[in-house]
């Protein structure tokens, strides 16, 4: 029987867990982080955009020496059809001012750096170790077991930050097996290219970056894709809800290959060499699928708590913020020495006051809306692409006749009542 | 008992790819790991310590990041890690490396006491030379047992070991006096699951850095300038196509083979 005892055990060295650990360690709390990967970040993947604001109060002068790639100054959205896209973009010199709004990052490097910051602050980071189960005494979580000999650890409080598949949240009954329609599988490739080529192709200077979010009829309205610029590479990927992958028998690799071959995408990556291939699950169930967040001696943060705002491609910043709030809650609770569910409910309150819960709540209908109204990202983008072509293609037909034709097509393909219904649903869920 | 294990941090070979045009390895973005053979060397040294008491010291030469590999050794049960790190070692080949590690090891003997067992992996997976370990052993003028697969007996009182090594033709069992230098195969042992307290101790421990200043060095034997190895050419072996498999009865197979081979013979004759 081991007698390892800490104030707090953080399970998982991703952004949520490391944010919690750093804040706790800086406050002098004895904290241990248990990570199953060979190093922090070794198993962690995301598309690649990390927002800076959430690091306030955790890391001074972020990004400082953090391993970031390019700060994003130009954000584009493409509604992709088979041979075309209709796009929107916003490029702004204000995004060229420090502290930068967001950067592209490689999580293997970034999380490893973040773990070093947590360790420097005094947190103990233990890798290659799986947190298996919670130790429960008198209806209270008092520690965890690991797969190792002498591997039991006791603590006042456990912060569960073990990601989308959260073994611990499941084993505690905080949540059920994740539903297939609430989780997306994203695959991504990192394609190496010269820095200068990337600058030229994306019309930016070194250090400046571009993100392109892509959806539309090209993917039958069922997938989201992205193209992000790194220093000397492009991250490009596509994600699709697992239920749709299974139902349509789609191999995500094929989807990614067809995306890479699209005439609007291929020239951007032409001549590049694939350096890495990655895949990960994204919890996209949103507010409605969130698990229980607190119990006696336990709090759940980050992906383990389904904190992803899919339509704004935000996740890591929600994770970091939730980790910070959980840490602050512990520090408050420690003053009274009370780590009961009631005492830790402060964490839920703090979340509700923060953008995390406000955003998740605001967009709670979006996952179901998109899941059950494929037309939104399928037919409309197609109509839009056709319309753009018709308007811009000069062929002797008057603009008036073109508009009439377009409207007629819209009525035929969607129908006026559906149009009104869709607009109303969109306004209710997104507006 | 004092065991000194020489380790190397290497690129994770399972993630290294070859650029077929230039014949070089693409190491960019590839995480560094502890050379797999040396994982087993550490395991064996720790096993000996658990049986006889004493301590296990680790030495590596490399950039500051190599401290991560040392920490992994500590998490696997070693007692102390030393990192020999200095710019003057940059570009060392196996001759210069074995010299630097020899001098570093002499310093460790000064600090930590005489060594009974020297360990290293049979080779590093990034170079496959299998020269550095034997190079150090030769400089120390101690018996060298390469390709160790079994330690049959250890007698610390009478100062000998009985060890089995792999040869090209089979196995060889030797009685060797202590101190002795082993380079080890992966089959030497199966890795055990380290207890959690070892990992915690490793995470809290400090790696001792030895610079060129701390060690008594002849600078004319260090670094790229004093490395006589020349890489004349690097190339990737051509991928051989798998031979065709013929199936059927003996007669059928013979007929098929004859038909396939005949055109070549016709051309040749």
Chain A residues whose CB is inside 8 A of the B31 CB are: 38-39, 42, 108
Model confidence at A313, pLDDT cuts 50, 70, 90, reads confident
* Inter-chain residue contact B195 with A148, CB threshold 8 Å: yes
* Inter-chain residue contact B196 with A128, CB threshold 8 Å: no
Interchain contact B12–A (C-beta under 8 A): no
Taking a C-beta distance cutoff of 8 angstroms, is the pair A51, A316 a contact?
yes
Chain A residues whose CB is inside 8 A of the B68 CB are: 39
Interchain contact A231–B (C-beta under 8 A): no
**pLDDT attached to residue A187:** 94
What whole-number distance in Å separates Cα of residue A21 and Cα of residue A291? Answer: 22
Taking a C-beta distance cutoff of 8 angstroms, is the pair A234, A193 a contact?
yes
* Inter-chain residue contact A275 with B29, CB threshold 8 Å: yes
Interchain contact B214–A (C-beta under 8 A): no
Which residue is closest to A109 within chain B, CA to CA?
B29
Query: If you search the block for the tokens 């998109």, which residue do you land on?
Result: A370
**pLDDT attached to residue A179:** 87
* Inter-chain residue contact A124 with B203, CB threshold 8 Å: yes
Helices (H) and strands (E) in chain B, counts: 6, 13
Interchain contact B263–A (C-beta under 8 A): no
Burial of A173: CB neighbours in 10 Å, binned 0-12, 13-18, 19+: exposed
**A 138-197: CB under 8 A from B:** 146-151, 153, 190, 192
Q: Tell me what the mean pLDDT of segment A66-73 comes to.
A: 96
Residue range B20-51, pLDDT digits in tens: 666 666 666 677 889 999 999 999 999 999 99
Highest mean pLDDT among A25-29, A215-219, A281-285, A369-373: A25-29
Residue range A267-278, pLDDT digits in tens: 999 999 888 888
**pLDDT attached to residue A112:** 94
Which residue is closest to B33 within chain A, CA to CA?
A38
Which residue is closest to A38 within chain B, CA to CA?
B33
Burial of B211: CB neighbours in 10 Å, binned 0-12, 13-18, 19+: middle
Q: Which of A39, A333, A314 is nearest to A157 (CA)?
A: A333
Report the gap between the CA of B200 and the closest CA in chain A (Å): 7
Q: Which of A69, A161, A76, A65 is nearest to A117 (CA)?
A: A65
Mutation site for B-interface testing, chosen from A123, A148, A191 by largest number of B Cβ within 10 Å:
A148
**pLDDT attached to residue A412:** 87
Interchain contact B14–A (C-beta under 8 A): no
Interchain contact B21–A (C-beta under 8 A): no
What whole-number distance in Å separates Cα of residue A300 and Cα of residue A163? Answer: 10
3-state secondary structure of A378: helix
* Inter-chain residue contact A129 with B199, CB threshold 8 Å: yes
Cα→Cα distances B127→A84, A223, B124, B138, B234, Å: 49, 44, 6, 20, 12
Mutation site for A-interface testing, chosen from B46, B199, B201, B206 by largest number of A Cβ within 10 Å:
B199
* Inter-chain residue contact A126 with B199, CB threshold 8 Å: yes
- The separation between the first and the last C-alpha atoms of chain B, rounded to the nearest angstrom, is 71
Interchain contact A275–B (C-beta under 8 A): yes
Q: Would strands B55-61 and B24-26 be described as parallel, antiparallel, or unpaired?
A: unpaired
**Which of A4, A124, A151 minimises the CB distance to B204?**
A124
pLDDT above 70 for B18: no
**Which of A42, A125, A148 minimises the CB distance to B196?**
A148
* Inter-chain residue contact B193 with A149, CB threshold 8 Å: yes
* Inter-chain residue contact B194 with A149, CB threshold 8 Å: yes
Model confidence at B11, pLDDT cuts 50, 70, 90, reads confident
Count of pairs with CB atoms under 8 A, one residue in A, one in B: 50
Mutation site for A-interface testing, chosen from B16, B200, B202, B205 by largest number of A Cβ within 10 Å:
B200
Residue range A164-207, pLDDT digits in tens: 999 899 989 998 888 888 999 999 999 999 999 999 999 999 99
**A 42-101: CB under 8 A from B:** 42
* Inter-chain residue contact B31 with A39, CB threshold 8 Å: yes
Decide: pTM greater than 0.90.
no
Taking a C-beta distance cutoff of 8 angstroms, is the pair A284, A183 a contact?
yes
Report the gap between the CA of B248 and the closest CA in chain A (Å): 38
pLDDT above 60 for A366: yes
* Inter-chain residue contact B194 with A4, CB threshold 8 Å: no
Q: Which of A9, A15, A2, A41 is nearest to A123 (CA)?
A: A9
Mutation site for A-interface testing, chosen from B32, B196, B201, B204 by largest number of A Cβ within 10 Å:
B196
pLDDT above 60 for A1: no
3-state secondary structure of A92: coil
Cα→Cα distances A149→A125, B55, B198, Å: 18, 21, 10
Which residue is closest to A149 within chain B, CA to CA?
B195
Domains of chain B: 2-226 (3.40.50.620)
**A 189-208: CB under 8 A from B:** 190, 192
**pLDDT attached to residue A415:** 84
pLDDT above 60 for B197: yes
Helices (H) and strands (E) in chain A, counts: 14, 17
pLDDT above 80 for B70: yes
Taking a C-beta distance cutoff of 8 angstroms, is the pair A429, A310 a contact?
no
* Inter-chain residue contact A148 with B75, CB threshold 8 Å: no
Interchain contact A126–B (C-beta under 8 A): yes
**Which of B75, B196, B203 minimises the CB distance to A150?**
B196
* Inter-chain residue contact B196 with A146, CB threshold 8 Å: yes
Model confidence at B97, pLDDT cuts 50, 70, 90, reads very high
């Amino acid at each position: 029987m081991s007698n390892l005892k800490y104030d707090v055990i953080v399970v998982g060295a991703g952004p949520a867990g490391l944010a919690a650990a750093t804040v706790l360690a800086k406050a002098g709390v004895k904290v241990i982080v248990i990570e199953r990967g060979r190093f922090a970040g070794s198993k962690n993947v995301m598309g690649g955009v990390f927002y800076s604001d959430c690091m306030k109060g955790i890391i001074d002068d972020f990004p400082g020496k953090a391993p970031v790639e390019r700060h994003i100054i130009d954000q584009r959205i493409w509604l992709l059809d088979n041979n075309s896209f209709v796009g929107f973009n916003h490029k702004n010199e204000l995004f060229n001012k420090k502290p930068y709004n967001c950067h592209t990052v490689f999580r293997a490097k970034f999380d490893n750096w973040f773990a070093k910051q947590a360790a420097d602050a005094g947190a103990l980071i233990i890798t290659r170790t799986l947190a298996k189960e919670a130790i429960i005494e008198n209806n209270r979580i008092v520690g965890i077991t690991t797969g190792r000999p002498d591997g039991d650890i006791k603590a006042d409080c456990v912060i569960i930050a073990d990601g989308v598949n959260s073994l611990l949240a499941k084993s505690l009954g905080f949540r059920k097996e994740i539903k297939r329609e609430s989780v997306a599988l994203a695959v991504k490739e990192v394609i190496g290219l010269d820095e200068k080529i990337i600058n030229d192709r994306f019309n930016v200077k070194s250090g400046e970056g571009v993100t392109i979010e892509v959806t539309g009829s090209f993917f039958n309205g069922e997938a989201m894709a992205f193209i992000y610029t790194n220093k000397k590479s492009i991250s490009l990927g596509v994600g699709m809800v697992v239920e749709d992958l299974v139902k349509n028998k789609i191999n995500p690799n094929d989807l990614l290959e067809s995306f890479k071959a699209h005439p609007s995408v291929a020239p951007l990556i032409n001549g590049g060499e694939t350096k890495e291939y990655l895949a990960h699950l994204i919890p996209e169930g949103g507010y409605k699928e969130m698990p229980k967040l607190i119990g006696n001696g336990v709090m759940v943060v980050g992906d383990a708590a389904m904190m992803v705002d899919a339509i704004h491609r935000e996740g890591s910043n929600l994770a970091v913020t939730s980790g910070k709030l959980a840490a602050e809650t512990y520090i408050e609770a420690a003053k009274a020495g009370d780590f009961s569910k009631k005492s830790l409910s402060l964490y839920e309150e703090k979340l509700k006051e923060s953008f995390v819960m406000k955003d998740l709540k605001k967009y709670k209908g979006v996952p179901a809306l998109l899941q059950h109204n494929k037309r939104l990202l399928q037919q409309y983008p197609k109509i839009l692409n056709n319309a753009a072509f018709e308007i811009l293609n000069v062929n002797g037909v008057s603009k008036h006749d073109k508009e009439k034709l377009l409207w007629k097509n819209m009525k035929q393909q969607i129908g006026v009542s559906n149009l009104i219904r869709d607009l109303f649903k969109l306004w209710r869920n997104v507006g | 008992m004092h065991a000194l294990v020489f380790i190397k941090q290497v690129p994770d070979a399972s993630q290294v790819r070859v650029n077929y045009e230039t014949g070089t390895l693409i190491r960019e973005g590839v995480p560094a790991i502890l050379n797999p053979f040396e994982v087993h060397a550490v395991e064996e040294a720790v096993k000996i310590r658990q049986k006889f008491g004493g301590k296990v010291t680790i030495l590596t030469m490399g950039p500051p990041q190599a401290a991560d590999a040392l920490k992994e050794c500590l998490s696997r049960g070693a007692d102390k890690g030393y990192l020999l790190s200095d710019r003057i070692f940059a570009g060392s080949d196996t001759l210069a490396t074995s010299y630097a590690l020899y001098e570093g090891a002499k310093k460790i003997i000064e600090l930590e006491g005489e060594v009974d067992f020297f360990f290293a992996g049979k080779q590093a997976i990034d170079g496959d030379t299998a020269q550095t370990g034997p190079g150090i052993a030769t400089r120390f003028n101690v018996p060298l047992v390469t390709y160790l697969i079994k330690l049959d007996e250890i007698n610390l009182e009478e100062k000998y070991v009985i060890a089995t090594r792999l040869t090209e033709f089979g196995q060889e069992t030797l009685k060797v006096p202590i101190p002795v230098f082993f380079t080890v195969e992966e089959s030497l042992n199966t890795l055990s699951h380290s207890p959690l307290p070892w990992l915690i101790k490793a995470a809290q421990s400090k790696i001792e850095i030895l610079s060129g200043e701390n060690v008594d060095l002849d600078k004319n034997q260090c670094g790229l300038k004093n490395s006589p190895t020349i890489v004349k050419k690097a190339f990737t072996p051509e991928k051989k196509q798998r031979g065709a498999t013929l199936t059927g009865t003996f007669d059928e197979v013979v007929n098929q083979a004859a038909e396939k081979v005949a055109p070549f013979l016709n051309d040749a004759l």
